[in-house]
Amino acid sequence: MINENSTHYRNIDDGADQRASSRDAETSQQRSRSGENDDDYFTDNKEESDTKSDPLAMHVDEDGKVNLMDVYEFKQSHGYLSILFSITQTLILIAMVVQCGLAPMSVNPMVGPYPDVLSYWGSTNSALIIEDGEKWRLVSPVLLHAGLFHLIGNVGVQMDSGVFFEKEWGSLIWVVIYISGAIGASMISIITKPESISVGSSGAVMALFGAKMSEVFCRCCESKNNIHGIVGHLVRKQQCIGVVGGVTLVMLMSFIPYVDWGAHLGGLIAGMAVGMVIFSCYIKSLVYRLIWFLIGAILTAVGFAETAKYLFNDVEPVDELRDVCEYYKQFFDGYECSCRKEDLNYNWGGNNDQ
Distance CA 179, CA 205 (A): 10
Average pLDDT over the chain, rounded to whole?
Answer: 81
Q: Could you give phi then psi for residue 184, rounded to 5 degrees?
A: -60, -40
Q: Which residues 6+ apart lie within 8 Å of 314 measured at CB? A: none
Distance CA 246, CA 202 (A): 10
| Coarse DSSP helix, strand, coil percentages of the chain, rounded to the nearest 5 percent | 70, 0, 30
Of the CA atoms within 13 Å of residue 122, those in its CB half-sphere come to: 17
296 three-class SS:
helix
Average pLDDT over residues 115-141: 95
How many residues does the structure list for the chain? Answer: 354
CB atoms within 10 A of CB 35: 6
Residue 79 has pLDDT above 60, yes or no: yes
Mean pLDDT, to the nearest integer, of 4-30? 48
Q: For position 226, what pLDDT does the model report?
A: 61
Q: How far is CA 140 from CA 37, 119, 135, 136, in A?
A: 74, 10, 9, 6
Beta-carbon contacts of 45 under 8 Å, excluding residues fewer than 6 positions away, are none
User: Between the ranges 38-42, 44-48, 118-122, where is the mean pLDDT highest?
Assistant: 118-122
Within 13 Å and on the Cβ side, how many CA atoms surround 4? Answer: 15
Q: What is the pLDDT of residue 213?
A: 92
How far apart are alpha carbons 37 and 32 in whole angstroms? 7
The DSSP output letter for 330 is: T
Pick 343 or 199 by higher pLDDT.
199
Residue 123 CA to residue 139 CA, distance in Å, equals 9
Report yes or no: 70 and 59 within 8 Å, Cβ to Cβ: yes
Does residue 11 sit in helix, strand or coil? strand
Question: Taking the model in full, what pTM does it have?
Answer: 0.79
pLDDT band at 34 (very low <50, low <70, confident <90, very high): low
Q: What is the pLDDT of residue 102?
A: 93
β-strand partners of 65:
11
Cα–Cα distance, 180 to 266 (Å, whole number): 10
Rounded Cα–Cα distance for residues 344 and 135 (Å) = 21
Range 324-336 average pLDDT: 88
C-alpha radius of gyration, the chain, whole number: 27
| 282: CB partners within 8 A, 6+ apart | 215, 218, 219, 222
DSSP 22-49: HHHHHHHHHHHHHT--HHHHHHHHHHHH
pLDDT of residue 144: 96
